[in-house]
Amino acid sequence: MIEPFAAVEIIAAKRDRNELTDPQIDWIIDAYTRGVVADEQMSALLMAILLNGMNSREISRWTNAMINSGERMDWSKLDRKTADKHSTGGVGDKITLPLAPLVAACGGAVPQLSGRGLGHTGGTLDKLESIPGWRASLTNDEMLKVLQDTGAVICAAGAGLAPADKKLYALRDVTATVEAIPLIASSIMSKKIAEGTSALVLDVKTGSGAFMSDPAKASELARTMVQLGRDAGVKTRALVTAMDVPLGLTAGNALEVRESVEVLAGGGPSDVVELTILLAREMIDAAGIVGKDPADALKDGSAMDHWRRMISAQGGDPDAALPVAREQHVVKAANSGIITTMDAMKVGVSAWRLGAGRSKQGEKVQAGAGIELHAKPGDYITAGSPLMTLHTDEAPRFERALEILEGAVTIVEGGTVNRLPLVLERIEG
C-alpha cells in the first residue's frame, strides 16, 4: 500500500504553524493506529500541537478521526433517553457514584464509561472496586442489559472504543504534552461521543487540586469540549466547578463509597449533595427527560434503590462491609481559629502516598487508604481537635503523607475564608 502522506510533512506543517488539512488529520490518526507512523514521529507532532495549537476545525476533525478508529456504541434499543457526565477529576470527586443512580431514578439511562486514578486524582473504577464482588469489565451486551434493568451502568471502556486515543494518551503521558487543550479536549470527547449518549454534561474542575488549576484555562477547555460535542450532534453543556478545596469530607476509595452512600441515603456533605443535584438537573434537562426532580429522588429513597440494583447487577454486594485500613493516624489542629485554606492538591497527594492512588498504570491501590476530613474552610476549630484522619494498611506510609500536608491548612483566629464558588461558570453552546 502506498501511503498518501509522509509523517514528516505533517510534522513540518504544524511546526511551521500551518493548519493541517482534513485528509492529513484523517491519515495521521489512522496511520499511527495501524503502526505506520512511529512513536517518535507522533511525539514530534504532539509537541508541535502543544506549542502552536489547533483551530476549531482541526480539533473537530482530529476528534472525529479518533472516533472513527474504533466502534460507536448504540443505545437505540433502550426505552429511555440517555445522558452522561464527565468530570476532569479532582480530590474527593466521587460525584459519579451517587449521580448515575440518581439520574436513573429520575427516568434517564446513564451509560457511564469511567477510568482509574493516576497520581493525586482518584478513579471511579478504583472506588467501586472496593465493594466486594463488583466488576468493572462488561461486554457491550452486558452493559445494555444492566442499563435496561437498572437505568445506570458504570464500567470500563472496552478496547474497541477510540483505540487511537488509548495509544495517544500513553504517548502524551511520557512526552510532556498532556496539557495541550486540543489534545485534552479530543481525548475526552472522542470517547464520550463514541459512547453513544444523546446528552452530555461536562464537569470541568479548576483550583489547586484540579488538572486545570487556572479558571481561564478551565473555561477554554470547557468551551472547546462543548463545541466538539455539538459538532457531533450530542447535546453538550459544561459547568466549571471548584477544586481549590477537596470535595466532600473524604479522599480515598472505600471512604468515598461510604460518603456516596450517605448522600444517596439523604445525608452527606452539603457540597457533594449540591453538585450532584445540579449535575443531575443539567443531565435531565439536556436529554429532555421528563421525570422526578433529583432532590425528591434523594429524599424518597428511589435513588438508593437504583444504586443497590446497579451494584448488584455488576456482581457487587451493596450490603457488604467496605474495607477499612489497618492503621489510622489523627492530625490535630495546632491552634484555634477559623480554617481559611485547605490545599486540595496537597490533600490529594497525601492520600496517594497513603496508598489510595497509583504512580504507574497497573499498580494496585489500597481500598481502605485515604483521608477523612473533620473540618473544612469556614469551620472554627479548637487547638488539639481532630482536623483529619489518615488511613493506610502500612504505617511507614504516614511519614511521607504527613510531610506533604505541611502548610496545607491555614487556621487563623478571626480569619476570613477566600475560596472559589462551587460553580464558577455554566457553558451551553
| Residues catalogued as catalytic | 86, 165, 172, 187, 191
Question: What sign has the CA pseudo-torsion 53, 55, 59, 61?
Answer: negative
